[in-house]
């Protein structure tokens, strides 16, 4: 059977009518060259932020919920329709489809919904008839017929989930950079494009904050062994392949430096000795869908000192839970203006001394490390946000990536 691809276009790629026309030209070329594909699009760049802003004008505390998710999902309705119109103008047959029309089923966790199932019959039919399906990214429909969204950046996840459901040969992620780089090229201009990454490395990078791919899309790709090709919308160059790699003879010790400015650290002290309260705390946080990242706990003279990092957007919820569970004698602090910096590489498994170099670089920049964590293929620290760009550059140089 012919090969099948899913092609996903990000916000910048469809950021204006002119760009949408360019995407349509590119798709036309692929179609005429005999490629079979399903298209997924994000909202036009800036649109989802604009919608979030409107919601916050009405209610500053508005967040995931029936009305909020319905509002946010509307951005993709515009871009897929414009793209379908552009393709039709160029003589192709295209059909824009929202998640509910296609059947992208999710759970009911608003703004963080997870895809449970995708109906593919209609897509196969359209492909057979030579119609190009243009699917709205980022959205789903729950069991109560309510619109959900998958979390910011979630169109990548729609695309990879579709590719997995269709058993496509690959999922192409078209974006505004030429691939996955050894650091965010906007912060470190010396960053280099990486030709290939395995799922494990990309999963670490994505979950550590590199926003080039939504982390859940990498999880799905790994589970279904779907190859991902991250590449530029604006050039024909080969990008970065994320797929299973065998026999990596000499994996680089560190393949990338990743940073995430969208985090918050909460601390509490003195917490009464024992694990009971901590168990209750983390249970409550998980019930409220607050994803806890790095945790540090130390015994002090008065009791325990607890600190943990979470996403910025969860800060208010985290503080509310701490206040609910801990008595007023426990001091709860939100450490302001922090960011996470990480190094990732499968070669770290077999090379000692990585931590020493990580600490040395930060020490030379006089950076104060607030939290730190490691696994066999990554090392992360939380530092003041003001040092993030310099730290990215210094670590990038230290590990020979420049």
Q: By rule CB under 5 A, what count of residues binds Mg ion? A: 2
| Residue 211 binds to ligand ADP (criterion: CB under 6 A) | yes
With a CB cutoff of 8 Å and minimum separation 6, the contacts of 356 are: none
| Residue 6 binds to ligand ADP (criterion: CB under 6 A) | no
**Stretch touching ligand ADP by CB under 6 A, among 97-105, 114-122, 205-213, 305-313:** 205-213
Cα Rg of the chain (Å, integer): 22
> Which residues between 45 and 64 bind ligand ASP (CB under 6 A)?
48
CA separation for the pair 23, 121 (Å, rounded):
26
Beta strands in 132-242 (DSSP E): 132-136, 139-141, 147-149, 170-175, 196-197, 228-232, 240-242
| Residue 137 binds to ligand ASP (criterion: CB under 6 A) | yes
| Residue 181 binds to ligand ADP (criterion: CB under 6 A) | yes
Among positions 186, 223, 244, 363, the unique one binding ligand ADP when judged by CB under 6 A: 186
- What DSSP element (H or E) covers 361? helix 354-364
Among positions 152, 193, 216, 396, the unique one binding ligand ASP when judged by CB under 6 A: 152
With a CB cutoff of 8 Å and minimum separation 6, the contacts of 69 are: 110, 111, 113, 139, 146, 147, 148, 149
Query: Least distance to ligand ASP from the beta carbon of 11, Å?
Result: 5
Query: Least distance to ligand ASP from the beta carbon of 48, Å?
Result: 3
| Residue 155 binds to ligand ASP (criterion: CB under 6 A) | yes
Residue identified by tokens 């065998």 is 246
| Residue 184 binds to ligand ADP (criterion: CB under 6 A) | yes
**Stretch touching Mg ion by CB under 5 A, among 1-9, 146-154, 198-206, 338-346:** 146-154
Of residues 95, 55, 92, the one with CA closest to residue 75? 55
Q: Is residue 274 classed exposed, middle or buried when 0-12, 13-18 and 19+ CB atoms within 10 A define those classes?
A: exposed
Dihedral sign for Cα 86, 52, 111, 156, please: positive
Query: Least distance to ligand ADP from the beta carbon of 258, Å?
Result: 6
Q: Is the peptide bond before 270 cis (omega within 30 degrees of 0)?
A: yes
Q: Is 136 helix (H, G, I), strand (E, B) or coil?
A: strand
By rule CB under 6 A, what string of x and - marks binding of each residue 249-278 to ligand ADP?
-------x----------------------
Query: Least distance to Mg ion from the beta carbon of 358, Å?
Result: 28
| Residue number, 168 or 183, with CB nearest to ligand ADP | 183
Helix, strand, coil percentages (3-state) for the chain, rounded to 5, are 40, 25, 35
| Residue 153 binds to Mg ion (criterion: CB under 5 A) | yes
| Residue number, 10 or 318, with CB nearest to ligand ADP | 10
| Residue number, 90 or 211, with CB nearest to Mg ion | 211
Among positions 15, 75, 140, 381, the unique one binding ligand ASP when judged by CB under 6 A: 75
Which residues of the chain form contacts with ligand ADP (CB under 6 A)?
10-13, 42, 153, 175-177, 180-181, 183-186, 210-212, 256
């Amino acid at each position: 059977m012919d090969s099948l691809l899913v092609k996903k276009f990000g916000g910048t790629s469809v950021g204006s009518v002119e760009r949408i026309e360019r995407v349509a030209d590119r798709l036309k070329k692929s179609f005429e060259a005999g490629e079979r594909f399903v298209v997924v699009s994000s909202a036009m760049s800036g649109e989802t932020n604009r919608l979030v802003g409107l919601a916050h004008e009405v209610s500053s505390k508005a967040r995931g919920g029936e009305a909020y998710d319905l509002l946010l999902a509307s951005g993709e309705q515009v871009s897929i329709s414009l793209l379908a119109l552009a393709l039709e103008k160029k003589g192709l047959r295209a059909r824009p489809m929202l998640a509910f029309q296609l059947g992208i089923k999710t759970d009911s966790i608003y703004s963080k919904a997870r895809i449970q199932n995708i109906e593919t019959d209609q897509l196969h039919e359209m492909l057979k008839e030579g119609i190009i399906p243009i699917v709205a990214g980022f959205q789903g429909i729950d069991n109560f017929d309510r619109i959900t969204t998958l979390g910011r950046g979630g169109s990548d996840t729609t695309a990879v989930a579709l590719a997995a459901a269709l058993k496509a040969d690959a999922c192409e992620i078209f974006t505004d950079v030429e691939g996955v780089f050894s650091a965010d090229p906007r912060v470190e201009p010396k960053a280099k494009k990486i030709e290939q990454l395995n799922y494990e490395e990309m999963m670490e990078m994505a979950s550590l904050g590199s926003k080039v791919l939504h982390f859940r899309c990498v999880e799905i790709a790994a589970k279904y062994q779907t190859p991902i090709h991250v590449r530029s919308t604006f050039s024909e160059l080969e990008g970065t392949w994320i797929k299973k790699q065998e026999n990596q003879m000499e994996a680089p010790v560190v393949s990338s430096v990743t940073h995430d400015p969208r985090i918050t650290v909460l601390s509490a002290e003195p917490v009464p000795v024992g694990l009971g309260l901590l168990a209750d705390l983390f249970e409550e946080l998980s019930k409220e869908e607050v994803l806890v990242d790095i945790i540090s706990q130390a015994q002090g003279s008065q009791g325990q000192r607890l600190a943990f990092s979470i996403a910025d957007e969860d800060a208010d919820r985290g503080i509310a839970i701490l206040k609910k569970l801990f008595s007023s004698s426990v001091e709860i602090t939100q450490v302001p203006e922090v960011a996470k910096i990480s190094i990732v590489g499968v070669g770290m498994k077999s090379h000692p001394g990585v931590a020493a170099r990580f600490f040395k670089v930060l020490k030379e920049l006089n950076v104060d490390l607030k939290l730190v964590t490691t696994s066999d293929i990554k090392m992360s620290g939380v530092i003041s946000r003001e040092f993030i760009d310099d730290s990215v550059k210094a670590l990038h140089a230290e590990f020979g990536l420049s």
